[in-house]
Each structure stands twice: as structure tokens, then as C-alpha cells.
Amino acid sequence: MSTEHTHTTPGWFDRALAAPVETGRVDVAGAEVTYRAWGPVGAPGIVLIHGGAAHSRWWDHLAPQLAEGRRVVALDLSGHGDSDRRADYSLERWAEEALAVAKPAGIDGAPVFVGHSMGGMVAFVAARLFGAELGGVVLIDSPVHARTPEEEAARRRRAFGPVKVYPTREEALAHFRFVPPQDSAVPAVLAHVAEHSMRPVEGGWSWKFDAAMMSRGGSEHLGADDPRCRIAYFRAEHGIISDAVMADMRERFGPTAIVAEIPDAGHHVMIDQPLPLVAGIRTVLAAWASEDRVAGLPT
């Protein structure tokens, strides 16, 4: 899929990328974790958690659209983006990172975690570990209780082998691919994400993620049936979640979970159906805020 700028960017996309953004770093268990943040400091907020081998800038075009009256924070999990690498990785450690970043990045009160794919698995583990400290978790086409699509590709040697170095930035950009594969995309979003997925290294350019994170262990929390906080789930119509897997997750999430499908969306929903995803997240946040007002809780 070409990532060249041969398209006209939508107005909403240009406005989102022009929105003021702050950056920072937080030490979590010996690793510097970077983040980007939008919206008023000291407001209630959400933490956006990217998928495997992705990074915080997958959210650049969405986060400002969620930041009215709230603080929105997108982090680079360790081993991803501009954060430090570790000797080993786990969903539990990434969940700890997401919670540790929230307050220093400017969120007041219990944050809501929003996670895509592997990031949704991180959010679910966080709900199990820190449910009382969260306002809820929103999962986006996440295979809870299974390996991530990135791990499956690595195990089958379809992707994520030894990290390649390309002699030029343009050649690296030409090799950018989604895992799992996806042809549908808003061209401007695809180009933006691809351009920020590379870093200069000795001998040329390479990807920002640490391939070693694909060998992480599993988590006993993924098979649990007690999320320990509010939960919402967005399934992509053309994503990776089968009917059987969805039925299993519905049962484990419990009767109060919000479950909806994003029409005509591939697994990477923020790439091909970003505006419906924004609308869905806003709706969930509004519903939960109404619940809190009825209960007399701060919103």
C-alpha cells in the first residue's frame, strides 16, 4: 500500500493535527515512558493504548476530538515508539505503565483506558489489576484470551523477524505494512502513521518497536470473567474477532458491558473508520458520565 502524499487531507484531520499537544516522559520501573497529551490539565481523562508494534502517534488524529473538557493522553508502551526498551515485557508491566503515566500527564481522578488490539488486552489486564482506580476500559477489536495478531504473525514468521534496516527513509516508508494486513485506510491517516513509525539507526532507517516484545509471556488475567470495572467493547465488522470469540468475551464481560460493532471497519479501526470510532468512544464516555452523575460521583 502506497504511503505517498497523493491525497487531499480532510479538514477534520488537519484540524486535529494542528491542535496543541504536550509531550513528556515518566520513569516506570526503570524505563522512561513517553507520552503525548491534549486538553486541559487537571481534568478527568482517558489514556489511549496502542497495539503491538504501534506507537502513540496512531492516535494523533483522534485524541484532539476526544479532548473537549477532558485530558487525553497517548503513551508509547516500553519497547515501542520513543519509550525505552526493557530486557523483557509483559501485559502486566504495560498496564502498570499506562496507570503510572495518567496523573503526571495531567489527568485528575480515575482515568478511562482505551486500548486497540494488544492495547485492549493491556487495558483488560489493567482492569483486573487496578479496576478500583479506573473509570472504565474500552477495548477495540482486541482478542482477549488469545495471542495478538502481531504475535501470531511473528510465530508463523510472516512478520516481525529480525528488524530490518533500510538505506533510506523513502525505502523504509515503502515497506510499511499493517499486521494483520489491511487495505482499507484514510490515506492521510495511513501516511501520518507510517511516517512516524521509523527512526534513524546506524546504516539507515528502521522501525521504532523492539522485536523482542513479541516473545513476551501470556497473562493469567486474560481468561478471567471479572473485569473489576466498567467495560465497553468495539468490534470491527471486518476485524479479527470471530463470532465464537465474541460470544465468549460477551459472557465473560458480564451483562452490563457495552458491546457494539463499527460498520465496514477493518481491524485497524482508527485507520479506516476514525470518525465512527470517535463517535463510539464519545458515546460510551457520555453514558458513563451520566451514570456517575446519577450516582452522585464526580465527573
Segments in the chain below pLDDT 70:
1-7, 146-161
Output the nine-digit C-alpha cell for 177.
505494512
C-alpha pair distances (Å), 185 with each of 57, 213, 290? 16, 26, 33
Rg (CA), the chain: 18
Look up the CATH number of domain 23-272: 3.40.50.1820
The candidate with the shortest Cα–Cα distance to 123, out of 107, 108, 136, is 136
pLDDT in tens, 83-110: 999 999 999 999 999 999 999 999 999 9
pLDDT in tens, 193-224: 999 999 999 999 999 999 888 877 778 899 88
Contact 32, 25 (CB under 8 A): yes
Is the pTM of the predicted complex or chain greater than 0.85? yes
* Residues contacting 130, CB < 8 A, separation 6+: 95, 99
**Rounded-to-integer distance, Cα 93 and Cα 256, Å:** 28
> What residue spans define the domains of the chain?
23-272
* Residues contacting 44, CB < 8 A, separation 6+: 70, 71, 107, 108, 109, 110, 111, 135, 298, 299
Helix orientation angle between 91-102 and 118-130, rounded to the nearest 10 degrees = 70
At 118 the pLDDT is: 95
